Structure formats: structure tokens, C-alpha cells
Chains A and B, each alone.
Chain A
Amino acid sequence: MNLDAKIPAGPIEQKWDKHRFDMKLVNPANKRRYDVIVVGTGLAGASAAATMAELGYHVKCFTFHDSARRAHSIAAQGGINSAKNYQGDGDSIFRLFYDTVKGGDFRSREANVYRLAQVSLNIIDQAVAQGVPFAREYGGLLANRSFGGAQVSRTFYARGQTGQQLLLGAYQALKRQVALGMVELHTRHEMLDVVVVDGVARGIVTRDLVSGKVESWAGHAVVLATGGYSNVFFLSTNAKGCNVTATWRASKRGAGFANPCYTQIHPTCIPPAGDYQSKLTLMSESLRNDGRIWVPKEAGDSRRAAEIPEGERDYYLERFYPSFGNLSPRDISSRRAKEMVDTGHGVGHMKNGVFLDFKDAIARLGQDVIAERYGNLFEMYEKITGENPYQVPMRIYPAPHYTMGGLWVDYNLMSTVPGLFVLGEANFSDHGANRLGASALMQGLADGYFVAPMTVGNYLAGVPREPVNADHAAFRDAEQGVHEKTSRLLGVNGSKTVDEFHIELGRLMWEKCGMERSGAGLKEALAKIPEIRERFWREVRVPGSGDTLNQSLEKAGRVADFLEFAEVMCWDALTRDESCGAHYRVEHTTPDGEAKRDDENFAFSSVWEFKGVGEKPELHKEPLEFEYVKLSTRSYK
């Protein structure tokens, strides 16, 4: 597996400009003769498809949703970072770069992160020009807030709906190209395989989710923007449809999967209310600015919050971390909450949460001030739980949220399969072992609007212009594989539902490969996953047929892929015998219980090569070098 990252030479601040100048251009008259396939219509996919169509390429774009406006980018609440320095508070491209590398706990590639910080400026300009209604000050200029522990105010936001507004901006740009006939948009189409011909990505195979028709599509380049895989845990903040299928099937066709064990847990979600729970809802982290986190001192205490006197409450984050207290970083807060629940201090009828209490803040600032700051969030909490957080403390618990791992890409966002590009959460490129708040939207749009349209063009300039078609035998083979898998799923006819297996896998992954991992636990998981997978293929029941809308079948295919992919996650977590960022190995902690990195042995990205279902994948390493940000240990004491 060739892991040449193709990082341009020269000083970091000149790499991208120089690279753009060095790239080959496609003659405008020839652009329409190139077909580009884009899979996914979230921020990264929609922005890439729209921009490449504007440039003149012929784009075929696919989404499994009924509309290109529904991808889970839409749910991002907090905001989007940009080094605009509109607040004049000392922000700069270098500072955003520095914060991102450090926040990623020194497990990302410097050159990519620097470029991300550079193009973050253009993203805001682009979004505003499209009509994205970012929050403004009375003077008419854009407002900013600080977010996720950053010491500068660089986050742009549109109420609690920043993801929605940015996605609608990209969707509108895409719709314009659809109307102009430059983008062929295929909704309700799920990508089920990547077709590789002579070692080069040449197309995809899709299933029409309404008619069941399996079809091949050829292109000169294939772009995957298919999001993350947190749903491997069953319960996560992701939308129900989020899955690993596209990236996993690409991985089976030769694309290396990088750092799959880097999964981020968000500390402030609403805990599950029962066994029927289908997903978890995130509450913005900003709540921790004014809320105090506590549990009853006595394990097993089932009194209501109001009945527990002050002296019998344990404000454990304030106790453990006197200087950062309730604002301790995501991973630390999450682990401590789990520890409290595991030792019997959990609250709520399932004893599966910790309190986030606004009583003191309301007494100090008044209910009006709290309502002004968090009104929307309080309403949302009440809608879901039926409890009024002005009167009783919220209950929160950590939940799987974002996956930093993804398909390995070089500086050009191309995977180890030539012609196969990967954007947004689906790739591994910018966040290292931990993502900072408000950086996911930034990366998706950076990749889609500003990076991929350039680098894909450079790739196309070097491939023959001859029309491509889906005649090659590799397309028939891939279609055949899809048909076989479909009939196999429908044919098991066992007694258990798909969700029963998904829940079983999710629990196992959460316990053994979730916010805390141990060598012994990971080995247990590696023994257990093949066993669940084997039972799945023996006992699952997928009703209905393959030639109609069949949501059970869609779900079954995705869970079957999670059952294969989960093993790579565990291999990665087991092999990375250090703690870093969101990857916390209990064997590697500082005396204070913090993640302890091992830069001497693990300053690399792990890239896994598929070797067969149930076979141990082969590990390849991309060494990481830090020229501009000095390796250091973080401390929040």
C-alpha cells in the first residue's frame, strides 16, 4: 500500500498556493467530457458536486435520501470556525492551525490542517454570498462566539442551526447546477460498491431504493463524501441512516482505512430513557458554561434532586479539576461521567446520567438571562424528556458523536485507489485523534468547495479524455456481488430482527471499544464480533423483497457492513498501545488519570488494508512529522 502523502515542498504557508500553481489544468472546452461521480450530498458532497459542475465537469451525484437537503450535516448546532479575526482578538490562520493540531493531540498531518485553516476564510465569504443568514451584530457585521475551549472568538453561527443553514446553502448551489443540466442528481440511490478497473476507480454500483434496480455508473473519477460511522455503536448522535457502507466497501476494494479507532464521544447528550431508545440527542456543550455537574455522594441514592441536600452532592468535576471544573475537555468530562454511573452514582429512573444543574446560575443571573442564553436548548430538552430544566436539573450522559478516522487520503484527498477521492467526515485527514468543536462543518466545506475541485481537476488532467462506460466486466462482477448479497440477506429467513443484532454489536463496541479501551477488552471484542456476525447470517430475518422499497433490507446491508468493520476498529484500538485524544487506553494514563501519549512509538497514522472478512487486516504506517507545532502534553488541572 503506497502511503505517499504527496505533501508539496516549501514553507507550510506557501504549500497550497504553490501546489495550486503547479497543478495541471483542464482546457475549459474539455471539462464537459469528464464525468465525475459524487456520492453523498452532505456539506462535503453537495459543495463538491456544485463547484465541479460550475467548473464545467459533468457531475453525477447520488444520495440515499429522498432529497439532497437531508444529510446529517444538517444537525450540527454550534457553528463553524474560521480564522477571519473579525473580533480582532488575536486570531490568525496560524493560530487556528495550531489549535487544530494540538486539539487533535498531534495525530494529524500538519500540511492538511494548515490548508484547512487557510481556506476557512473563503468558506465564510462563500456562505454569506449564498445567503446563509449568519448571526449579526446591530452594526450589521457578522457576530462570533468562542466555542470548544478556544481562547478566541472565531465561531460563526446561525442560531442553533448552523449546519442546516450551511447545508441549505450548498444544496441551493447544487440545485442551481441541476437546473442548468450540469449535475445529474440521483436521489434514493444507495451506493453499494466501488468499481476498480486496472487498479483505478472507474465507477460505482447503486441500488435504487424504490425499485430495487441495481445499476452501474461510470466516471473518470469517484468522490465519496459519505460521512462517519458512529452508528457502529447503535446508539449515537448520528442520524439513523448514517453508515459505513460506502467507505467500507471502498476499503474492500483496496482503499486503506485510517485510524478507525479515533471516535469522539460528546459529553452532553440526553441519556437513554428505555430499551426502545433509537438514537441519542446532543445538547450543545455551551450549557457547561453555566451548569454545574453533580451526582449524589451516596451510591444508589434514588431521591429526587431537590431532596438531596447540598452536603450530600458531589460536584466531581470541580473536585477533580479545580481550575477547569465543569469546563474540562470533552473526553475528560465524558470519562468521569461514565465512572460515576459505573460506580452506582447515576441519576434518573435508569440511573444512567449525571445532573447538569442551573440552580446556582439562575439564582445568580436570574431566569431571564439563562433563558436568553439557552432558551432553545431548554425547550428542546423539555420536548424530549418532559422535564423543565428551569426547575429540575438536566440529566446528561456522553454519547458517540463524530468519527475522526476514515479512508486514508493524501494531500490531494485521494485514497490509496487512484481516482477515488474522499471528503469530509468520511476521510481521516484533519482532526487527528480528536476534533475541536465547530470544525466539522469547516472541514466538510473546505474539502468540497475549495480543495477537491482543484485536486480532482489536476487528476483528470492526467487521465485520457475518452468516454468511460460501464461495459467492463468489473461492473458486471460488482453488480453480481450486490445481487448476491441482497438475495442472501433476504434468504436467511431466521427469527431475529436486524436491530437485535445491531443493538448487540453496539453494546459490545460501547463497552469494549467506546470511551475507554483495554487490551483485554479489545481481545474479547475481537473474539465476540465474528460470533455475532456468524449468528447474524444464520438467524436474521429480513422481510419483503428486493424489488420494492424495503427499509429492513437497507438496514440489514448496513448492519452487515458494521459487523465486518467493527473488527478493524478493534484491531486499530488494540494496536495503538497508547492513549491519545479520544482514544483512551486504560493502560496508558498519567498519574492524574489523563491520556498518556507515546510519541516515540506511535507518532503515525495507522492505515489498514483489507485482507478478507474475518482475516486480520494488514497495518501500514504513515509517519507524522511536526515541524511547526511542538509536541507537548496538555493539562487542564
Chain B
Amino acid sequence: MNLTLHVWRQAGSSAPGRFETYQAKDVSEHASFLEMLDLVNEDLTREGKEPIAFEHDCREGICGSCGMMINGVPHGPNKMVATCQLHMRFFHDGDVIWIEPFRATAFPVVRDLVVDRSALDRIMDAGGYISVRTGSAPDANALPIRKHESDLAMDAAQCIGCGACVAACPNASAMLFTSAKVSHLGMLPQGQPERWTRVVDMIAQHDLEGFGTCTNHGACQEACPKGISVDFIAHLNRDLLKSSWKAAEPPASAVAGGR
């Protein structure tokens, strides 16, 4: 098939951007979307032009590197896949495709379709972990966990950190991302000791990074390549509310009169 591409080109974070038009010729329906872009880039290179920069790595939908707006939709028209697993059979000969980077204040453009998503990493820094020193863990089977809870935690843990939820959200909120980690760790018994501070700290960082507020629009869930449910945002909000008194509970030593 032959396609017309309008691709966002931007030399750097402070440079102005613009759409450039390219023709993608003789594209196989079996090629992936990124392989189609590879071919365009090979042609651009041969013509002595700079190829389109886009982030990618594993190309099997798990590393979370790739992601772009394809006709206004993060990761394009196929549901539950990252851009690397979108195949050209979802397009038709003669289609016009608009390709842009993920847009959000907290995701400044680095170059072309590459954006800086380190804000998500900093939300993790704020508390997206369980504090356990290497070698200090008890036997793995010492703590049985109900299969249902473990499965639910796994549903949340699947997030690949691609940022599609932010790009889809009209408020550019990273609440689906944040709630996935808060829920994953908060639903497991191992995550309880830090549960009430984790949610507060991660939300504080989320807001500090310039992500918007969640208004239950639900676009994030639709865009998520892993199908992470907005139910986890409700879970986060419940934990955030509870934290207002839970986190304020005095330490055990104070209650026991230890001071």
C-alpha cells in the first residue's frame, strides 16, 4: 500500500516544530508501524536528509519505549497494543496518517517524536517501591497471599510506563500510571507498612511535575496498551483519602509510651 504521512519534526526541545509530509511506498500489510517508519527513514537517509527520530527498543510491546500519536490516538487504531505491535493491516492504500509525539507539559519534546518522560521516573523515586534491603527477606512462602489479591496486584503491575495514558488524557494527567503502582504495591501485604505515605508522596510528585488532575474522563484506560483499568484510580483516591488519618497515626512507640 502507499501512504501519505504528515510527521511532526522538531530539532530540539526549544526549537520550533512543524509537520513534514512524506510518502511511504509499497508498504506491506504485514509490516509493523515502526517498520514502515524504518523504511521511510532508510529513504530519507539515502536522500541525505535526517531520519525521523522515534523511541523504540524491544519491539514486542513490553519495554514501553515506543509511543506516538497516530491520527490523534496514542499507539494508533488497534486496541491493547503499543505502537511497535500495531501492524499496517489496520491501514488502507491511500490513507493519510498524522504522526505526532505524545503531548503533555510534563513530557517536553526531545526531538521529533521522542519526548522526555523522566517525570514518570521521578514519581517512582517519590515512593514507588517497598523498602527491603537485599538479603533481609523472609522465606518467600512464609507469607501466603490470596490468589485473588495477588492476581489483582499483577493486573496493576503490568504497566509498561509508556505514557500513553498521559497523552490520551485531556488534562495530561498521569493518574493511571501512578495509580497502577500505588495499587500494585498497596494491595500486597508486603506493601502495607509504607502504603499511606507512598500514595501521598507519589501524588505530591505527580502534581509537582505538572501533570493535570484526573476528572474521570477514562481516555487513559482506552489508550493503555496493557488494558490497565481506571478502577485503580478509584483505589488510589480511596487510599489518598484514608491516608489523611492513617498517615497521621502516631508511631507505635508513642502509643506504647516509649518516649
Interface residues of A (CB under 8 A from B): 47, 50-51, 54, 65-72, 74-75, 84, 86, 122, 124-131, 133-142, 158-159, 161, 163-165, 168, 171-173, 175-176, 178-179, 187, 210, 239-241, 273-274, 276-279, 281-282, 383-386, 449-450, 453, 495-497, 499-500, 541, 543-544, 548-549, 551-552
Contacts and interface: CB of A to CB of B under 8 A. Distances in A.
B213 interface: no
A172 B129 contact: yes
A142 to B, nearest CB: 6
Interface in B137-170: 137-141, 143-147, 150-151, 153-154, 157-158, 160-161
A161 B53 CA distance: 28
Given A133-B154, A449-B134, A75 B58 contact: yes
Nearest to A137: B147
Question: Closest 6 interchain pairs by CB?
Answer: A140-B144, A129-B137, A172-B129, A273-B30, A125-B137, A133-B154
B62 A75 contact: yes
Contacts of B57: 65, 70, 72, 239-241
Contacts of A282: 60
A158 B190 contact: no
B63 interface: yes
A126 B137 contact: yes
Contacts of A122: 135, 137
B58 to A, nearest CB: 4
Nearest to B28: A274
B148 to A, nearest CB: 9
B129 A140 contact: no
Interface residues of B, number: 80
Given A50-B134, A131-B130, A179 B125 contact: yes
Nearest to A52: B134
Contacts of B150: 133-136, 140
A281 B65 contact: no
B55 to A, nearest CB: 7
A547 to B, nearest CB: 10
Contacts, number: 220
B45 interface: yes
B75 interface: no
A126 B135 contact: yes
A240 B190 CA distance: 35
A129 B129 contact: no
Contact of A549 (B39, B53, B81, B157): B53
B39 A276 contact: yes
Interface stretch (B111-119, B230-238, B249-257): B111-119
Contacts of B158: 159, 161, 164
Nearest to B155: A133
A129 B127 CA distance: 16
B48 interface: yes
A450 B58 contact: no
B208 interface: no
Contact of B184 (A133, A142, A274): A133
Contacts of B72: none
B225 to A, nearest CB: 11
A497 B137 CA distance: 51
A159 B11 CA distance: 41
Given A131-B188, A281-B60, A385 B145 contact: no
14 contacts: A65-B57, A66-B55, A67-B121, A75-B58, A133-B153, A142-B141, A163-B62, A175-B124, A278-B35, A278-B59, A383-B78, A497-B42, A543-B49, A549-B12
